[in-house]
Amino acid sequence: MAITFTWSVNDMHKVTATGAVYKVEWNCSGTDADTSVSHSRSGSYLHTNDDGVQATPDHTAEGFIAYASLTEANALDWVKAGGVQAHNEGLITSAITAKIAGAGNSTGMPW
């Protein structure tokens, strides 16, 4: 079983005046190459400060990326950090494995 994962950004929320993105809505889908069975998950990334508290990014901080310069890859780096990628890809893999295992089962009645 070889699963290909595709991550994407559905939307971003920002402070208009500064361009600071504080929320990223994402989707991750996985597809098994052998069976074409797929599963997906969606979620939101919320920016937090060093103490883990939700906060608006400091647009004056070093390393801040201006909104106009952001790429989907930048946003997905934020989303995937902290174990989010491994956790969600693991859940998707488990769901696909269960779907494949159950493929030989069916429902219904003989009459």
Domain ranges for the chain: 3-96
What pLDDT digit, counting tens, does each position of 49-81 carry? 888 898 889 999 999 998 999 999 999 999 998
SS3 13: strand
Contact 45, 78 (CB under 8 A): yes
Q: Of 26-35, 55-64, 90-99, which gets the smallest average pLDDT?
A: 55-64
Q: What's the rounded Cα separation, in Å, for the pair 39 and 3?
A: 10
pLDDT the model gives residue 1: 75
Q: Report the pLDDT averaged over residues 103-107.
A: 70
Say which DSSP state 95 is in. Answer: H
The Cβ of residue 75 has, within 10 Å, a number of other Cβ atoms equal to 20
Mean model confidence pLDDT for the chain: 92
3-state helix, strand, coil in the chain (%, to 5): 30, 35, 35
Which pLDDT band, with edges at 50, 70 and 90, does 31 fall under?
very high
Length of the chain: 111
